[in-house]
Amino acid sequence: MSAKRLLCFGLGYTARALVRQLGPEWAITSTTRDGVHLLPGAAFEGFTHILISIPPDELGDPVLDAHGAEIARLSGLQWLGYLSTTGVYGTRDGGWVDENSALRPSSARSKRRVDTEAGWLELAQARGVPVHIFRLAGIYGPRRSAFDALRAGTAKRIDAGGQVFSRIHVDDIANVLLASIAKPRPGAIYNVCDDEPAAQEEVVAHAARLLGIAPPPLLPLDQAALSPMAKSFYADDKRVSNTLIKQELGVTLAYSNYRAGLAAILAAGG
């Protein structure tokens, strides 16, 4: 039997980045959103760690609603990580937020995240579940960066009136999760982002320069023909502090800004 058993609810882009960094002492089990309601209670026995990357829907959080009681009964559970979003802070007109800032979600999607975070933290307080909340900034990495959109001809540079947002390389998310697993603090909430919030158009222009191609033209937001979901990302304008992951977890980011992250992706053949 493996000494460490991880159950992943959702094995998407971020969860796979974590799994790739785990050592041979780990046994990994994963489920998908379609199968989240199909796990019998006995399926939870023996798990020491749980990662939840499935987002809530209009009905609530599928994992908490379907399996919160079974999770609460796991006597050997050492760590549960819930992947949330910095969208819970809403907009600050370019100002900074940290983990103690008030939550002011500006979209229904982010409001559901606030409710889900509260549900998991309530379970932690009532039943002693070792819940850790990770508020992720915009995720990028290999096969999911400005390079891919530029090569596909779908990249847009959008003038959003000086709006900035924070982002994080997927491998740095994995590094933060590993640091938390090594140093758990039940009830903890962490912002997971790099050091340098930046405008979207700035990132796309830099990626184009690295590829040696002309950047797309700069378009006003109202002329960019974005989907409602894509447009909603421009509703929030804030800078997110990552001080806590450095001070408490001792994390040193591999990619402290988008320039370092994009250079590494390109050097690796991305």
For residue 65, tell me if it sits in a domain. yes
For residue 201, tell me if it sits in a domain. no
For residue 43, tell me if it sits in a domain. yes
Q: What is the per-residue pLDDT for 3? A: 86
Q: What is the per-residue pLDDT for 38? A: 58
Q: What is the per-residue pLDDT for 34? A: 63
For residue 94, tell me if it sits in a domain. yes
User: What's 120's domain CATH number?
Assistant: 3.40.50.720
pLDDT tens digits along 118-138: 999 999 999 999 999 999 999
pLDDT tens digits along 144-155: 999 999 999 999
For residue 215, tell me if it sits in a domain. no
Which of the residues in the chain have pLDDT under 70? Answer: 1-2, 32-38, 40-41, 270
For residue 151, tell me if it sits in a domain. no
Q: What is the per-residue pLDDT for 232? A: 80
For residue 106, tell me if it sits in a domain. yes
Q: What is the rounded distance in angstroms from the CA atom of residue 68 to the CA atom of residue 128? A: 12
Q: If DSSP states are collapsed to H, E and C, what string results for 2-71? A: CCEEEEEECCCHHHHHHHHHCCCCEEEEEECHHHHHHCCHHHHCCCCEEEECCCCECCECHHHHHHHHHH
Total count of domains within the chain? 1
Provide the residue range defining the domain that includes 39.
4-140+167-193+238-254
Q: What is the rounded distance in angstroms from the CA atom of residue 37 to the CA atom of residue 31? A: 10
For residue 229, tell me if it sits in a domain. no
